[in-house]
Amino acid sequence: MLELRNIIHRFPESSWELNIDRFSVSPGEVQGIIGPNGSGKSTLLRISAGILDPLAGDVTLSGNELKKLKRPIIARQIGYLPQELSSEYDFSVEELVRMGRYPHTKGLGILNSTDIAIVQQSLAFTGLENLKKRRLSQLSGGEKKRAFLASVLSQKPEILLLDEPASALDLHRQVHFFRLLRKLAKGKIGVAVVTHDINFASLFCDKLLLLEEGLCLAQGPPEKVLSRGVIQKIYGKDVFLGKHPETGRPTLLPALTDKKT
């Protein structure tokens, strides 16, 4: 389990501060991190992945202090997919996915038969088997995201931290992507996903963490977090709070007039 307690972080020459009392990611659950721009979602995820050291607070992974663990040890347990995905060189999909085995290999990173089988599994899981010989430059935005996700999955992590993984995808690709996350959670992987799309977060996540200006505004099941009062506080009277016809989970729609909330 990944656990963060009493986290405080500030950037130099900025009055903005991230201040989170408690945040954890447990195996088998999908947790959505939502909030307006600049609320600290990505910063929280980077601290969780050990990419950024907080000014104060504790980050522990299975009871061990994260900053005392070596990077390959962290990478065997935490898979992190950053928001900006690019490659200086035009690797093939298979080459990229093979790179995910880095924390399990030594020296020149030569893969054994087990590693290769895991790479094939990751390709199959993300539906990239037929595209494995393609170069990254030959992929669509969605395919590229899936290729990077497959690379992270081949690390065989217990915790997956994803920063806006579905942001460039069209609607049906987003649905497929979030269904993939649910499948991963079924396989006992803990997922924390930063997303701007509150409806997807509400429908596909077990728990939500709502941030605003670096502070946790609400945390818990979607029904509790996306309450009328909280939504009104963040979005004013510009959105309509409804219920998903299949699941009854809260959904947001733009309001035609500013009377309905």
Rg of the Cα atoms in the chain? 19
Of the candidate residues 17, 51, 221, 230, the single one contacting other proteins (CB under 8 A):
51
Q: Toward other proteins, which CB reaches closer, 103 or 222? A: 103
Q: The tokens of 90 are what?
A: 């035009």
Beta-carbon contacts of residue 188 (< 8 Å; ≥ 6 apart): 27, 28, 158
The single-letter DSSP state of residue 165 is: T
Look-up of token digits 């959505």 = 32
Q: Is 168 among the residues that bind other proteins (CB under 8 A)?
A: no
Of the candidate residues 28, 36, 38, 109, the single one contacting other proteins (CB under 8 A):
109
Q: Toward other proteins, which CB reaches closer, 89 or 245? A: 89
Q: Is 113 among the residues that bind other proteins (CB under 8 A)?
A: no
Cβ 166 to other proteins shortest distance, Å: 18
Cβ 16 to other proteins shortest distance, Å: 15
Whole-angstrom distance, CA of residue 166 vs CA of residue 171: 9
| Cα→Cα distances 8→47, 52, 109, Å | 10, 12, 37
| Stretch of 26-34, 99-107, 202-210, 231-239 contacting other proteins, by CB under 8 A | 99-107
For the chain, give the longest Cα–Cα distance.
Answer: 63
Beta-carbon contacts of residue 207 (< 8 Å; ≥ 6 apart): 29, 30, 31, 32, 219, 220, 221, 222
Of the candidate residues 49, 128, 149, 194, the single one contacting other proteins (CB under 8 A):
49
Q: The tokens of 88 are what?
A: 């200086």
Q: The tokens of 191 are what?
A: 């997922």
Q: Is 70 among the residues that bind other proteins (CB under 8 A)?
A: yes
Q: Is 110 among the residues that bind other proteins (CB under 8 A)?
A: yes
Of the candidate residues 41, 46, 132, 145, the single one contacting other proteins (CB under 8 A):
46
Whole-angstrom distance, CA of residue 131 vs CA of residue 65: 39
Q: Is 85 among the residues that bind other proteins (CB under 8 A)?
A: yes
Q: The tokens of 253 are what?
A: 């729609």
Q: Fill in the per-residue mask, 141 to 160: x = in contact with other proteins (CB under 8 A), - = not in contact.
A: -------x--xx--x-----
Q: Is 52 among the residues that bind other proteins (CB under 8 A)?
A: yes
Q: Is 258 among the residues that bind other proteins (CB under 8 A)?
A: no
Q: Which residues bind other proteins (CB under 8 A)?
A: 46, 49-52, 70-76, 78-82, 84-91, 95-96, 99-100, 102-103, 107-110, 137, 148, 151-152, 155
